[in-house]
Amino acid sequence: MKSGFKFFIFVLILGIGAALLLSSDLFNIKNIYVTGNKSVPKNEIIQLSSIQYDQNIFRLNRKRIIKNIFQNPKIKAVRMKRVLPSSIALDIIEREGFALIPYLGSYITIDEETVILEVISLDNNLNLPIVNGITFSDFKLGEELKSENKEQLSIVMDILQHLKSVEMTELIETIDVEDTSNIIITTKSDVRIYLGNNNFNYKIRMAKSILEDLNKKMETGIIDMRHDGSPVFKRD
C-alpha cells in the first residue's frame, strides 16, 4: 500500500513538473524554418500557417496548420516538424506550372495533374507552352480544370508529358488541340509540327531530332508527321 502511494506521489510530482516545464518560456516558438519552397515566399507560408512566435510549441494544431497552408494552390504537400525546444520546421513541396491556357485576355496555369495554380497576364507567360483549343465554362484555383472536352485535355497532357521526357518543353510556343485529328505544335523558332492524332511518343522524339538539325541550319517550315512513314519537311 505504501509503495503504491509513493508511486502515485511520484507520478503526480512528475506530471506537475512536466506541466510547468511545458508551459515555460523554454518551449515558446523562437524560430520558424521553411524549406522546399521555390515560388511561394517564406513569409507568405508562415502567415498562412497562423503559427505565432512565442506561442507554446506543444499547443500547435498540426492538422489546422497544414490545412491553412494548403490555401495556396501552389502548395502540393507540407510536412511540419517540432524541433525542440523552440523551433518549427515546415518542409514544402510546390506544384509546378506545366502549361498555360488562354482565358479572357489572360492565362491560367495548370500543373501536371491539371490543377489550376494561378491566373497571370499575357505579358508573363512563365516560359510554358500555350495550349489552344481547350474550352471550359468555369474554374477554381487549387482544383482540377474541368474541360468541356475531356479527350482534348487528356491528349494535350499526354503530349506535354512526352515533350517533358525529351526536354522539349522550353522549345514549344503553342500546342493546338482544337482539331484532335491533327494536333499542331509550334516551336519558338517558328517550326510547325503536324502530329496527327497517334503515336505521340515516337513522333515527338523524331521531331526533336529534326528540330536540332533545322536550328543548326536556321530553317523554318512544317514537319508533317500526320501519315505513316518518314516525316516530311516543307520549308516556308
Same-domain check for residues 82 and 105? no
Q: Which residues contact 46 (CB under 8 A, 6 or more apart)?
A: 32, 34, 90
Same-domain check for residues 210 and 122? yes
Range of the domain at 197: 99-235
- From 94, 118, 152, give the residue that closes a domain: 94
Domain-located, residue 4: no
pLDDT band of 22, cuts 50, 70, 90: low
Q: Which residues contact 2 (CB under 8 A, 6 or more apart)?
A: none
Domain-located, residue 17: no
Residue 143, domain CATH: 3.40.50.11690
Residue 229 above 90 pLDDT? no
Q: How many CB atoms lie within 10 A of CB 103?
A: 14
Same-domain check for residues 82 and 195? no
pLDDT band of 9, cuts 50, 70, 90: low
Query: Cα separations (Å) of 193 from 125, 145, 217, 226?
Result: 21, 26, 17, 9
Residue 29 above 90 pLDDT? yes
The arithmetic mean of pLDDT across residues 20-38, rounded, is 85
pLDDT in tens, 105-126: 899 999 999 999 999 998 876 7
Residue 143 above 80 pLDDT? yes
Percent of all residues in the chain with a pLDDT value above 70, rounded to a whole number: 89
Same-domain check for residues 217 and 112? yes
Same-domain check for residues 105 and 77? no
The distance from CA 202 to its chain's CA centroid, rounded to whole angstroms, is 27
Same-domain check for residues 109 and 87? no
